[in-house]
Amino acid sequence: MNARLLEDEIPVRRPHFHLKSDKLTFLISRRPYATLSSEEQAIWKAIDGAAPIGHLRQCLGDGAEAVLQRFADLAVCEVLPPSFPANRRRIVIIEPHMDDAALSVGGIMWMRRTECEFIVVTLAGISNFTSYYNLDREYFDVKGVSALRRAESELFLRHVGGRHIALDLLEAPLRYRNGDWTLGWFQQHKRSISGFYEHSPRPQELDLWSSKVARALGPLKPQEIWMPLGIGRHVDHQLTRDACLRVVGADPGLPERPAISLYQDVPYASLFPNHTPDLIRALEGAGARLEEKRVDVGHVMAKKLELLSIFASQFKMSFMGPRVEACARQAGAGSFEYAELLYKINVTRLAGLEGLSRCAGRAAIDALSENIVPWLRRNRSASLIRLLLATAAGRWAEDMQFLLEIFPRATFEVHVGSAWLAETETLASPRIRIKVVGRGWRSWLLDAVRTLASRPNPLVIIAPQEAHRRARLVSGLSIGSDSIIAPSMSEFLLTLREACHGTV
């Protein structure tokens, strides 16, 4: 941290630390993070996020500086500059969640903080997501988590002299089910919530998110707008990209036409390395003219990682740091050690940018698209269709309702994993028969063998791409069945919808 704290600098407590008696603890952890003396406790309580260090020293004595330095070294307190230049260029960055801008373009924001005023608009401002999801800890307080995440974002943006605006849209888990969950409920639905993350949104969701973006942008009068490419499979990133493209393409009546750029989503860019070029080709094919800008952030990478640690409710830097660095090395493309990637978009009225062209995993989707039309033609009037869900659907009720409508004569025999069985309670029908399959691919193989005893029927296997070879084996064991394999329920239904409309 600072070699010496300056009089006008402002200390701010990190919002995820709490003082209990003489112990600082992290969120709901019972393990003390640090023990404070009585003097340190008094100074901790006096930090209000507004008083500068000089004022605290006057009120609490010369020893306050050493205590504040210890807090900074422990990373329980941030030390912020008192002011930034006036009349900076106003850049509005639209992000899905309260950390995406920092992850994706935090280096650029730090480098340009004295010349640009960054206003970050978070669309999904209502959240219950923390890293406790991965630990099966009960911390699902929507109001508390949303406030915590806003505080983290505001603290990060004070470092760059920016401002944070959180809209009132629900993050994906809360659209699966809104409210304060119990741990038992979460454990039953955990896999289905993950399926919801990766499921394409409904048109009504895109309409809502687009209207929120349009209303938020108008009063801000940005000179530039940065929005995500929507890399990966997370539905909120898809929604944010599509809502932004819709709004800027419609020219929402901004006083002056701002410059528009798309930023590469971090850390998803390194997890889905082919998705960025696939999306760029899709955008250009739809009429966009894009200018690539690779911004060298090598000299500020250490500072970016330090600032990202502010989002401690969301990730540990031992996990996220290497992923951020991997994205930055990839964006450097041999020209820089570390870079962040922007695409300035010169045409925003796009034609033909349909759902499948925006999806990650083009090879699997292209193969599915080639097979879906003849499969549909052969089986449109089937009386029984078997559906093997080797991964959670995520939107069971609406997905199955669509299939019931597309195949009006069919009964669906759905083989579903026990880990995501709870989701099927959201829709029951006399035309849906549920068969539960145990955990592991051995259970699925045994289930396929047992299925051979009955007469062959059309078969749909939904299995993630990494399990494609095993899904092919299951398909081979189902001798005589007219089978088709899809990497997710979302991609199967997107392809099926387009086949029904004759566009594939």
pLDDT digits (tens, 9 = 90+) for 129-188: 999 998 888 999 999 999 999 999 999 999 999 999 999 999 999 999 999 999 999 999
437 has a pLDDT exceeding 80? yes
Three-state SS letters, 472-485: HHHHHHCCCCCEEE
pLDDT of residue 501: 74
Give the helix ranges, DSSP H, for 47-160. Answer: 53-60, 63-73, 100-111, 142-159
The tokens describing 205, both together, are 């969701």
The per-residue pLDDT of the chain, averaged, comes to 90
Give the helix ranges, DSSP H, for 333-482. Answer: 362-379, 396-406, 441-451, 468-477
40 has a pLDDT exceeding 60? yes
CATH of 89-348, one of 3.40.50.10320, 3.40.50.720, 3.40.50.150, 3.20.80.10: 3.40.50.10320
229 has a pLDDT exceeding 90? yes
Q: How far apart are CA 26 and CA 124, in angstroms?
A: 24
pLDDT of residue 18: 94
Place of tokens 């047992």: 450
pLDDT tens-digit readout, 301-350: 999 999 999 999 999 999 999 999 999 999 999 899 999 999 999 866 67
352 has a pLDDT exceeding 70? no
- Mean pLDDT score, 230-258: 82
pLDDT of residue 454: 65
Closest Cα to residue 148, out of 321, 244, 237, 18?
Answer: 18
pLDDT of residue 3: 53
pLDDT tens-digit readout, 290-315: 999 999 999 999 999 999 999 999 99
Query: Which residues make Cβ contacts (< 8 Å) with residue 129, sequence separation at least 6?
Result: 97, 145, 171, 173, 314
226 has a pLDDT exceeding 90? yes
pLDDT of residue 148: 97
Residue type, 145: V
Q: How far apart are CA 72 and CA 68, in angstroms?
A: 6
65 has a pLDDT exceeding 50? yes
| 61 or 475, which is more confident | 61
pLDDT of residue 317: 95
pLDDT band with cut points at 50, 70 and 90 for residue 2: very low
Cα-to-chain-centroid distance, residue 467: 23
- Mean pLDDT score, 428-438: 92
503 has a pLDDT exceeding 50? no
pLDDT band with cut points at 50, 70 and 90 for residue 481: confident
pLDDT of residue 153: 98
Q: Where are the domains of the chain?
A: 10-80, 89-348, 361-500
pLDDT tens-digit readout, 392-409: 999 999 999 999 999 999
The tokens describing 350, both together, are 């796009």
Would the CATH topology of 89-348 be identical to that of 361-500?
yes
Q: How far apart are CA 62 and CA 81, in angstroms?
A: 20
pLDDT band with cut points at 50, 70 and 90 for residue 248: confident
Strands 116-122 and 163-166: parallel
Poorest-pLDDT segment among 103-107, 250-254, 277-281, 304-308: 250-254
pLDDT band with cut points at 50, 70 and 90 for residue 440: confident
pLDDT of residue 6: 85
Cα-to-chain-centroid distance, residue 380: 36
pLDDT of residue 354: 65
pLDDT of residue 493: 92
Strands 339-345 and 290-296: antiparallel
pLDDT of residue 47: 94
Task: Count how many residues are written for the chain.
Answer: 504
* C-alpha distances in Å from residue 170, one per residue of 92, 115, 165, 232: 21, 33, 15, 19
The tokens describing 347, both together, are 């045409």
270 has a pLDDT exceeding 90? yes
pLDDT of residue 252: 45
| Contacts by residues 298-301 (CB-CB < 8 Å, ≥ 24 positions apart) | 298/332, 298/336, 298/337, 298/338, 298/339, 300/107, 300/110, 300/111, 301/107, 301/325, 301/328, 301/337, 301/338
487 has a pLDDT exceeding 80? yes
CATH number for the domain running over 361-500: 3.40.50.2000
Query: Which residues make Cβ contacts (< 8 Å) with residue 325, sequence separation at least 6?
Result: 301, 305, 338
* C-alpha distances in Å from residue 260, one per residue of 98, 118, 119, 237, 351: 21, 14, 14, 17, 18
The tokens describing 209, both together, are 């998110």
Poorest-pLDDT segment among 86-90, 128-132, 261-265, 282-286: 282-286
103 has a pLDDT exceeding 70? yes
Query: Is the backbone of residue 170 left (phi > 0), alpha (psi -120 to 50) or beta?
Result: beta
